[in-house]
Amino acid sequence: MISALVSCEGIVLRNLRHGETSRIATLLTPELGKIGVMAKGARDPKSPFGASLEFLSHGSFVVYHHPGRDLHFLRSGALEREFRGLFRDSDRFILGSAFAEFLERVLQGEEPACELFDFALQGLQVLETAPRPALPELFRGMQLRVASILGYAPRLEQCLRCGCAVGEAESAAARGAWTFLPSDGGVLCPECGAREPVDAGPRLSFRALRRLRAMALGRSNGATPGHAAAVVRERPSAPDPAWIALLDGLVEDFLRYHLDSYRGLRALGALSGGGSGASG
Ligand SMILES: [Zn+2]
């Protein structure tokens, strides 16, 4: 097939030096999804690409797109926006890097990714600006939302066995501990959970479950990373470390079960608190 000139926006998920003066970058674009591009002369002082290929930048690009190839030549690039706040704070930078690594890992090949692109732009802005103590929780919420956009939403509306709705769980019994089953991607009410082995999955208080549900709402529910930030603002103090540890384990298990290409994130290992436990 003949290559076509495609104009698109993109977020730089990764970039590598290539040869003396060039760069190879991975972009997340709305129209083409994840693509690899080669930018000749990108490291020249007079590069026509300016800062558009810097890591985590948002740019406008013109690509010689050649269907079926892994790498496409970039004709031009112009910076739209850089997330400077991510580069001024080590924990924000690590989470921004981990978010880019996550997107790169879980996106398969080239297919339109408009919703994900919009979400990623907003997500980077949230990581850049949200209160620092809220970052670990926001990051996990964003991972669940990406999974939702990809069609793997956790099922947190009702019990997987008896179907009782979380939102209508008024009885004292229903407000006990719910069980999250990573492999099924959903929850069991206290009554049904009691019939499962104790190690079936992590137990969540009713409040924690409601919080998890609010964090994990997908875009189809009209929720955005800004919505996640609003959830966190309702409880602005530093989240309980036990809750963050529970959330870390639960999200990791869920993603490993449902996204084949997910194997955890290297970037997270560098966080000051270990895990996703960015210190406040
Ligand atoms: Zn049940």
Distance from the CA of 218 to the center of ligand 1, in angstroms? 23
The per-residue pLDDT for 224 is: 62
Q: Residue 1 pLDDT > 70, yes or no? A: no
Distance from the CA of 199 to the center of ligand 1, in angstroms? 17
Q: CA 242 to CA 251: how far, in whole Å?
A: 14
Distance from the CA of 153 to the center of ligand 1, in angstroms? 19
Q: What is the pTM of this model?
A: 0.89
Comparison of pLDDT for 171 and 7, the residue scoring more: 7
pLDDT tens digits, 125-160:
999 998 888 888 889 999 999 998 898 989 998 999
Distance from the CA of 174 to the center of ligand 1, in angstroms? 9
* Helix, strand and coil in the chain, % to nearest 5: 40, 25, 40
Q: Residue 278 pLDDT > 50, yes or no? A: no
Rg (C-alpha) for the chain, rounded Å, is 20
Please give the CATH topology (third level) of the domain spanning 1-82.
Answer: OB fold (Dihydrolipoamide Acetyltransferase, E2P) (2.40.50)
Angle between helices 90-106 and 135-149 (to 10 degrees): 10
The per-residue pLDDT for 220 is: 44
Distance from the CA of 216 to the center of ligand 1, in angstroms? 21
For the chain, where do the domains classified as CATH 2.40.50.140 start and end? 1-82
For the beta carbon of residue 119, count every other beta carbon within 10 angstroms: 22
Q: Two tokens at 142? A: 């964003």
Residues 191-205: what's their mean pLDDT? 91
Q: Residue 2 pLDDT > 80, yes or no? A: no
pLDDT tens digits, 49-62:
989 999 999 999 99
